[in-house]
Amino acid sequence: MIVPLQYLCVVNSARLETPIEKHLRHWALLILPWGMLIAAWQAVAVSGLVNPGLMPTPGQVGGKLVELLLGGSLGIDILRSTQRVVIGVFLGILVAVPVGFLIGWYKNARTFLDPLINFFRALPPIALIPLVVVYFGIDEPAKVIILFYASFFAGVIVMYEGVAQISPIFVKVSRTLGASDGEIFLKVIVPLTMPHTLTALRVALGVAWATLVASELLAAQQGLGALIQSAGSFFQIDIIYVGIVCIGSVALSMDLALRAFTRRLIRWQDRVEAQ
């Protein structure tokens, strides 16, 4: 049976979503997972499968969160942890980008440095805490060094893999057109490596937040990691949940902001978005 082309066009056009429907579908897809997660959490908490003292409900955690924000030092804890993460990631990426470019672009540098980088990146930051205490004490620099370590090795691997995938044909074509080494670096290499730099920054941010609690083991008086450890010592499960929710929320907010910045900065790059 042959279906007229005009009929197919009418059917396809009838199935197209309106802008309002697309907007609603977008927000539904964003909100639905969180609703399912909270519903599952609530169901487990009230089901009796877990001791109520070991799993507070979402409402109890939300109430404690508001209480700590209004009457406690939660805002200062969030600020201190964010400050440590930002400094550690900034310093880590500042070193990781040139090192990653070096080993990704130059084969001899890759042969020389790759084994060392892969050796040290396999070491968990928490394993280095005793040495960090010995060499740097327990003050603020020690906490930043732990985050720097985690950020650097996370970022350098992403940067290295990204730069290694850049085709040398871009450099050859630029030289053929008469570009100098400085022009090639500024107008060819830097734009091509920008997406990888921003991806390295995103990965480093995630790893740094995941390492935050370990870094604040070093006698921290303020910070979300210190809040979680203190609550654990006194078996304050609801405060532990508050700390976890805050870490995830701040990390997600920073990642979303970085993704929005990335879309603006590398708008020139062709992207294929999965539907």
- Regarding whether 142 and 16 lie in a shared domain, the answer is no
- Regarding whether 131 and 38 lie in a shared domain, the answer is no
The chain-wide mean pLDDT, for the chain, equals 84
Torsion angle of C-alpha atoms 87, 89, 91, 96, degrees rounded to 10: 180
Which whole number is the average pLDDT over 36-57?
90
- With 80 as the cut, is the pLDDT of residue 5 above it? no
pLDDT, position 15: 58
pLDDT, position 218: 73
- Regarding whether 159 and 230 lie in a shared domain, the answer is yes
Q: Which two tokens stand for residue 118?
A: 């892969």
Q: Which two tokens stand for residue 40?
A: 């599952």
Half-sphere exposure of 272 (CA within 13 A, CB side): 0
- With 80 as the cut, is the pLDDT of residue 3 above it? no
- Regarding whether 230 and 134 lie in a shared domain, the answer is yes
CA distance 163 to 104: 5
- Regarding whether 122 and 20 lie in a shared domain, the answer is no
Answer with the residue of higher pLDDT: 99 or 10.
99
CATH classification of the domain holding 167: 1.10.3720.10
CA distance 168 to 106: 11
* Predicted structure pTM score: 0.82
What is the number of structural domains in the chain? 2
Query: Which pLDDT tens digit goes with each residue over 157-206?
Result: 888 888 888 777 887 888 888 888 778 777 877 788 888 888 889 999 99
- pLDDT above 70 as % of the chain: 91
Residue 96 lies in a domain: yes
State the first-to-last Cα distance of the chain, in angstroms, to the nearest integer: 31
- With 80 as the cut, is the pLDDT of residue 4 above it? no
Structural domain range at position 73: 58-265
* Residue 195 φ/ψ, nearest 5 degrees: -60, -40
pLDDT, position 272: 38
- With 70 as the cut, is the pLDDT of residue 20 above it? yes
Query: Which pLDDT tens digit goes with each residue over 216-270?
Result: 877 678 899 889 988 988 889 999 999 999 999 999 999 999 988 888 877 755 5
pLDDT, position 269: 59
Residue 131 lies in a domain: yes
Placement of tokens 């990631």 in the chain = 89
pLDDT, position 177: 82
Q: Which two tokens stand for residue 99?
A: 């090192």
Classify the phi-psi angles of 223: left when phi > 0, otherwise alpha if psi is within -120 to 50, otherwise beta.
left
Residue 275 lies in a domain: no
- With 70 as the cut, is the pLDDT of residue 60 above it? yes
- Regarding whether 155 and 72 lie in a shared domain, the answer is yes
- Regarding whether 227 and 111 lie in a shared domain, the answer is yes
Identify the weakest region by mean pLDDT among 12-21, 77-86, 180-189.
12-21
Half-sphere exposure of 64 (CA within 13 A, CB side): 18
- With 90 as the cut, is the pLDDT of residue 51 above it? no
Q: Which amino acid is at 112?
A: F
- Regarding whether 90 and 38 lie in a shared domain, the answer is no
Identify the weakest region by mean pLDDT among 67-81, 93-107, 207-221.
207-221
